[in-house]
Amino acid sequence: MFRSFFFLVAALIAAFTHAGTNEEGLKFLAAKEKEEGVVKLPSGLLYKEIRPGVGKTPTISQPTNCHYAGRLIDGTEFDSSYKRGQPLTFAPNQVIKGWTEAMMLMKEGAKWELYIPSELAYGDRGAGALIPGGAALIFDIEMLEVLDSK
């Protein structure tokens, strides 16, 4: 009984101490939101359309070929398909929440810059050694092609 109670209390403490986006990220997102051309969605995701698309919009499970580059708000790049010289294939339901939401609005051929609060990215856990917990992230994403579902 005591053991179950202990785990319940620990879970509640963990739930209520969720930090979300860190202070630097919140300041960055607040400033970015005021920039011309930046759109804020109800989830908190911000984006700027660099180039509109004219093709198809993917379904949640429809694969796409995309180029992307991800960086921290200080400009540190942590991943780039451009640098690898090859786009990646993935569906909106295979990526972080911020990407999923953006991809469902993008059309084939579009290029957007995304400003993602940590709650829609990797949260408090971060990702590997390069993305700390609570980090807001910036992604350039270029939807090259929406592939046929099989």
CATH code for the domain in which residue 108 is found: 3.10.50.40
> Dihedral of CA 95/96/99/101: which sign?
positive
Sequential DSSP letters for 39-80 = EE-TTS-EEEEEE---S----TT--EEEEEEEEETTS-EEEE
Share of the chain above pLDDT 70, in %: 87
- 139 is an active site residue: yes
Instruction: Report yes or no on 7 lying in a domain.
Output: no
Number of compact structural domains in the chain:
1
pLDDT of residue 41: 98
131 catalytically annotated: no
What would the pLDDT profile of 108-144 be if each residue is shown by its tens digit? Answer: 999 999 999 999 999 999 998 899 999 999 999 999 9
pLDDT digits (tens, 9 = 90+) for 24-74: 999 999 999 999 999 999 999 999 999 999 989 999 999 999 999 999 999
Q: Residue 68 catalytic?
A: yes
Integer Cα distance of 100 and 108 in angstroms:
15
List, in sequence order, the alpha helices (H) in the chain: 2-16, 23-33, 81-84, 97-103
82 is catalytic: no
Domain that holds residue 86: 23-146
Of 68, 116, 140, 141, which is the active-site residue?
68
